[in-house]
Amino acid sequence: MSCDGFVVNMGALVEYKGIDVDVVIPPEVDTIGYKAFCGREDVRSVVLPEGLTSIEDRPFANCDGLSSLTVPASVSHIGRHAFSDCPRLTIEYGGTTQAWCALFDCVPWHGGAICLVVRCTDGVLSYPA
């Protein structure tokens, strides 16, 4: 299915081909797929829907312009290098700091470009710590 620039396959957002720089993911999406936004330097903000459960590997890698990402507490997995090379990124997370830290097996970024701030319901995490 492709609608308004969203390419969705069985609940997974496979690719964003839209022109909006402030993106709100449709509620039927439950997974952000591998490299779904990769290299989209024009995208400034992304709001993920309540009910989303998984952010796969590298979906936001090399999104230099991405400064705001809203992640619901329903997310139970964040893949490898999900936010690599997003130097201006602030994440608004709907869960606690403890829940955030339990979401990934390895660091969701690498190299010098990192996630700078994660605002959780009970505090703020800054990276590097």
Considering only CA atoms, which of 101, 95, 103, 47 is closest in space to residue 70?
47
Helix ranges restricted to H, 21-109? 97-101
Considering only CA atoms, which of 110, 75, 112, 111 is closest in space to residue 91?
75
Give pLDDT, residue 41. 94
Considering only CA atoms, which of 79, 88, 74, 69 is closest in space to residue 127?
88
Give pLDDT, residue 115. 57
Give pLDDT, residue 2. 44
Give pLDDT, residue 117. 87
The CB density around residue 79, as the number of other CB atoms within 10 Å, is 19
Backbone angles phi, psi at 118, to 5 degrees: -125, 115
Task: Give residue limits of the domains in the chain.
Answer: 2-126
Which CATH number is associated with domain 2-126? 3.80.10
Query: What gap in Å lies between CA 24 and CA 44, rounded to an integer?
Result: 11
Give pLDDT, residue 43. 97
The predicted model scores a pTM of: 0.91
Q: Which two tokens stand for residue 96?
A: 């606690």
Q: pLDDT digit of tens for each residue in the chain (129 aa)?
A: 445 899 999 999 999 999 999 999 999 999 999 999 999 999 999 999 999 999 999 999 999 999 999 999 999 999 888 888 888 899 999 999 999 988 876 666 555 456 578 999 999 988 765
Q: Which residues contact 68 (CB under 8 A, 6 or more apart)?
A: 44, 45, 46, 89, 90, 92
